[in-house]
Amino acid sequence: MSNRRLAETQPESFAFTPENEAWAKKEIAKYPEGRESSAVIALLWRAQKQNDYWLPRAAIEQVARMLDMPYIRALEVATFYTMFNLEPVGRHYVQLCGTTPCMLRGAEEIKKVCREKIGEPGHVTADGQFSWLEVECLGACCNAPMVQINDDYFEDLTPENFATLLDDLAAGRAVKTGSQTGRVGSEPQGGKLTALTTFYGVQEAVADAGSPAEAEGGAPDAAAEAEAAQEEAHIKAVLATLPKDATPEQKADAVGTRPPGLEAARDSKADNLQRVKGIGPVNERNLNALGVFHFDQIAGWSREQIRWVGAYLSFPGRIDREQWVVQADNLARGGKGWKD
């Protein structure tokens, strides 16, 4: 590890805000008498956040005084842990993960964008907006590559979406935290796994039973409800970033991929899509206009395609909630519909 020294230019003094002072007292009180110095990392961290994400000498001295510990001990902690910045950083402080999973998934390309747009690691741009540093794993490896900017994580980065993200931050525009490609949680990149309903006989069981629980008029599946709610919230968050006059296609393109459509129904005979609970005459017309005429087309929709259609039809999350894909698969196999 390289030597870490205090910044050459230092402020005269540092004092916690009254709110942080009160917080620090509570933090110190968590430890037994004589062990108050155990709060050193927590207090240094708070001081750093208060001071635009860097620790001046006066802050380290103040923390040492509050914990009744020698200044050199607090300085040792501050200079040992790289989470403490000893020099000013940009208003948008980018910590880029360069550890193996992120490196294998393209962190080097993200680093190039940092160099092009910000400069060398540690350099603060002339307008004070940005600085960046490579750090070790930030614990979001499943959505690699990723960066942390101030307190927020930005995942599933590509050179393009990361460059746009920096431009948006520079212009003061709202940005989306988390996955930049719309991935929900840590699901696989191509959409959530359907192994349990596709490959292990569950669909056959569903087909034998005639229709899914909800199609039979039973209670909706709680897990499907929860997933649909999560999906809906995610899509709405993406859609909220679009201009108000965005077309249905623009909205749908922002969250997913258009499913392939047919020119016309096979053998000029479209399936009665209204046998899928949730598809009424209007939705059936809209789906036909998209080239969707058959149950097997809906049954084959990927996660990205479900998102696209949901956003296009202006009801994100409903396709999951009503289990159109499971229903359509059942019908394509000759099972019963909810009205049959």
Site residues, ligand FES (CB under 6 A): 97, 99, 101-102, 137-141, 144, 146
Q: Which is nearer to ligand FES, 155 or 227 (CB)?
A: 155
3-state secondary structure 226-289: HHHHHHHHHHHHHHCCCCCCCCHHHHHHHHCCCCCCCCCCHHHCCCCHHHCCCCCHHHHHHHHH
Cβ at position 101, least distance to ligand FES in Å: 4
Cβ at position 294, least distance to ligand FES in Å: 43
| Residues across the chain | 340
Cβ at position 163, least distance to ligand FES in Å: 19
Give, in order, the Cα–Cα distances in Å from 207 to each of 203, 215, 243, 271, 327: 6, 12, 43, 17, 9
Helix, strand or coil for residue 96? strand
Cβ at position 108, least distance to ligand FES in Å: 12
State which amino acid sits at residue 233.
Answer: A
Helix, strand or coil for residue 131? strand
Q: Which is nearer to ligand FES, 17 or 181 (CB)?
A: 181
Q: Which is nearer to ligand FES, 149 or 326 (CB)?
A: 149
Cβ at position 140, least distance to ligand FES in Å: 4
Q: Which is nearer to ligand FES, 141 or 290 (CB)?
A: 141
185 DSSP β-pair partners: none
DSSP 8-state code for residue 140: -
154 DSSP β-pair partners: 147, 178
Q: Which is nearer to ligand FES, 99 or 302 (CB)?
A: 99
Spatial contact of 338 and 217, defined as CB atoms under 8 Å apart = yes
Q: Which is nearer to ligand FES, 46 or 183 (CB)?
A: 183
Residues 6+ apart with CB under 8 A from 38: 31
Q: Which is nearer to ligand FES, 100 or 247 (CB)?
A: 100
Cβ at position 170, least distance to ligand FES in Å: 24
Spatial contact of 280 and 324, defined as CB atoms under 8 Å apart = no
Give, in order, the Cα–Cα distances in Å from 293 to each of 258, 264, 265, 284, 311: 15, 8, 6, 8, 19
Residues 6+ apart with CB under 8 A from 295: 271, 273, 275, 276, 328, 329, 331, 332
Cβ at position 114, least distance to ligand FES in Å: 15
Q: Which is nearer to ligand FES, 156 or 271 (CB)?
A: 156
DSSP one-letter string for 98-125 = -SHHHHHTTHHHHHHHHHHHT-STTPPP
Cβ at position 126, least distance to ligand FES in Å: 29
The per-type count for the chain, helices as H runs and strands as E runs, is 16, 5
Residues 6+ apart with CB under 8 A from 22: none
Cβ at position 112, least distance to ligand FES in Å: 17
Q: Which is nearer to ligand FES, 86 or 140 (CB)?
A: 140
